[in-house]
């Protein structure tokens, strides 16, 4: 069995964090010890204990094992911009090998680790490597969160094609309704079900609510945990 899942998305703000936290909470209720992992976070505020990213803090809150913030989010960058640009401005380099090693250390502390990428599948980490390279090094099956809005079919199918081209295990996808006015929503979901070739693990409804915990609760309700555990067992 794999150590967990790598959660990617069609683009930024697609709902990776909400789904990842929902998955952590649901798996913890099923009896697993779980940990979230946000290898790189761009967009943070300075606090008395250092830079802190809101998404990473949520992953930590929904992990069932006690972890230091830095274990969940090894690289925290202040500006909310592309990670490789933020890292260059901060004078640091982003190494998939080093980040994969931090994942291995975390995997020794929990039954399941849910890794959340930054932005989309091919977001650069350096001049030569990207988030997909990190996912392949970690080696866990990949879940694709699709921001359901106009244009999502092309974005989702291109991302799925790249996931498979990299040799990653494409485990399933998530439909996250980010646009309540999206026309023919159900027909778009059916089109992706037919073309992605993997199970839809969750359908996250639209929720006009700023509280992330309420969004996470709604995402849990739309999650098919049996399909998730089956995908994990197959890996």
Question: What's the pLDDT tens digit per position in 175-200?
Answer: 999 999 999 999 999 999 999 999 99
Locus of tokens 């943070």: 44
Domain residue ranges of the chain, discontinuous segments joined by +:
4-234
Q: What is d(CA 230, CA 224) in angstroms, rounded to the nearest whole number?
A: 10
As a whole number, mean pLDDT of residues 26-33 equals: 96
Class of the 4-234 domain? alpha beta
- 1 pLDDT above the threshold of 70: no
Helix intervals (H) in the chain: 16-29, 54-61, 69-72, 83-90, 96-107, 131-138, 152-165, 185-196, 212-221, 225-234
Range name among 105-109, 113-117, 188-192, 230-234 with the lowest pLDDT average: 230-234
Locus of tokens 């990949």: 142
- 235 pLDDT above the threshold of 90: no
Q: Among this protein's residues, is 38 annotated catalytic?
A: yes
Nearby residues of 66 by Cβ (< 8 Å), 6 or more positions away = none
Question: Do residues 48 and 85 touch, judged by C-beta distance below 8 A?
Answer: no
Question: Do residues 126 and 84 touch, judged by C-beta distance below 8 A?
Answer: yes
- Would the pTM count as exceeding 0.85? yes
Run of H or E including 81 = none
Question: Do residues 40 and 83 touch, judged by C-beta distance below 8 A?
Answer: yes
Q: What is d(CA 58, CA 73) in angstroms, rounded to the nearest whole number?
A: 11
Give the model confidence (pLDDT) of 122-151 as tens digits.
999 999 999 999 999 999 999 999 999 999
Helix intervals (H) in 33-121: 54-61, 69-72, 83-90, 96-107
Locus of tokens 């009896």: 31
Which two structure tokens, joined as six digits, stand for 94?
């982003």
Percentage with pLDDT > 70 across the chain: 100
The residue annotated as part of the active site, out of 16, 38, 109, 215, is: 38
- 2 pLDDT above the threshold of 80: no
Which two structure tokens, joined as six digits, stand for 124?
């650069």
Q: What confidence tier does 234 reach under pLDDT thresholds 50, 70, 90? A: confident
- Residue 93: alpha-carbon gap to chain centroid: 22
């Amino acid at each position: 069995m794999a150590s967990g899942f790598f959660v990617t998305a069609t683009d930024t703000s697609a709902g990776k964090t909400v789904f990842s936290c929902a998955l952590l909470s649901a798996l913890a209720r099923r009896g697993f010890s779980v940990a979230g992992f946000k290898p790189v976070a761009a967009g943070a505020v300075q606090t008395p204990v250092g830079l802190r990213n809101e998404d990473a803090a949520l992953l930590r809150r929904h992990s069932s094992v006690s972890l230091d913030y830095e274990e969940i989010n090894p690289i925290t960058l202040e500006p909310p911009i592309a990670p490789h640009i933020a890292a260059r401005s901060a004078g640091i380099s982003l190494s998939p090998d080093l980040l994969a090693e931090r994942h291995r250390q975390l995997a020794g502390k929990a039954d399941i680790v849910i890794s959340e990428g930054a932005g989309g599948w091919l977001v650069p980490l350096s001049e030569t490597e990207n988030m997909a390279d990190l996912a392949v090094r970690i080696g866990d099956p990949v879940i694709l969160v699709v921001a359901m809005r106009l244009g999502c079919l092309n974005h989702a199918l291109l991302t799925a094609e790249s996931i498979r081209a990299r040799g990653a295990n494409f485990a399933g996808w998530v439909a996250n309704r980010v646009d309540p006015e999206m026309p023919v929503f159900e027909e778009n979901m059916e089109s992706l079900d037919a073309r992605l070739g993997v199970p839809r693990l969750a359908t996250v409804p639209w929720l006009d609510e700023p509280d992330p915990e309420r969004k996470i609760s709604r995402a849990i309700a739309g999650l098919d945990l049996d399909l998730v555990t089956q995908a994990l067992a197959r890996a």
